[in-house]
Structure 1
Amino acid sequence: MARPQRTTFDKTKTVAENRRARFDYHIEEKFEAGIALTGTEVKSLRFGEGSIAESYAEISGGECWLINANVPEFSHGNRFNHEPKRPRKLLLHEREIARLQGAVERKGLTLVPLSVYFNSRGRAKVELALAKGKNAADKRNTVKERDWKREQGRLLREHG
């Protein structure tokens, strides 16, 4: 029997977060994936540098890749430095990759990275989400709900 999957991941140090993704997409399911990095990329991420604001994931050739993620060159990295926007391989089980590929092809969902972080064992991980794009009306409703919750908090603090 399969183990129940955790809903939250043990994030000890978040390096980069894609805050825009939660606004632009309906998040349906989350996955945790490792990233294949070179030495200077790890050092650069440990210093808190890196951005996944305009990145996405794609499945090609039975492998999952993180495209357009920016990890700037390491300042002390001499000639062994890495290319900042190179495609990075995401480490997932074959069954997970097949499941993600099926969802992307059949349901028209998108693979969006939500955050890059180091777990409790010091491994770099990516929180991937299967997401469906929002239209303009959905985005307006999201803004409306967020403003109403902020106003509710203000009212409760003043009168509570």
Structure 2
Amino acid sequence: MMLTINGTDHPIPDDIRRTLLDFMREDLGLVGTKKGCDHGQCGACTVHVDGRRILSCLQLAATVPGAVTTIEGIVTEGDLHPMQAAFLEHDAYQCGYCTPGQIMSAIACVNEGHIRSDREIAEWMSGNLCRCAAYTQIRAAIRACTLQTAEAST
């Protein structure tokens, strides 16, 4: 059986107890996704499976139900994803450790339509912790990316 990560197929690890996070970081060298708490409480390991956000530290690699996209996989032809650019523009990264998970969750938040207010953004991003407390800048980046996306589509 194969596991698709960022558009590339990889054989599922022999050890069926291996988490998706450990498989990506240790076996594939995809270290953009961070290991924070390893208990599903901090969001640093957030990736997308078929466009839906999941915590890769809680998902066994052998049971992933679709194609995985990591922070490395959102760059297209060398260009930053609009959310990455918004995080840079709004200083929403501070120390940077939580940033990959924050960005992946922010993209999902926008795609899910949970962006009507700062309160709604905060609620839907609440599974991603930032020890540097850059929440104001993170919400600003999400709003800016949402506006840029809306303007580009008109």
Give the TM-score of the pair, scaled to structure 2: 0.27
Greater RCO, 1 or 2 (C-alpha within 8 Å, sep 6+): 1
The structure that is helix-richer by fraction is 2
The structure that is strand-richer by fraction is 1
Structure number with larger C-alpha Rg? 1
Give the TM-score of the pair, scaled to structure 1: 0.27
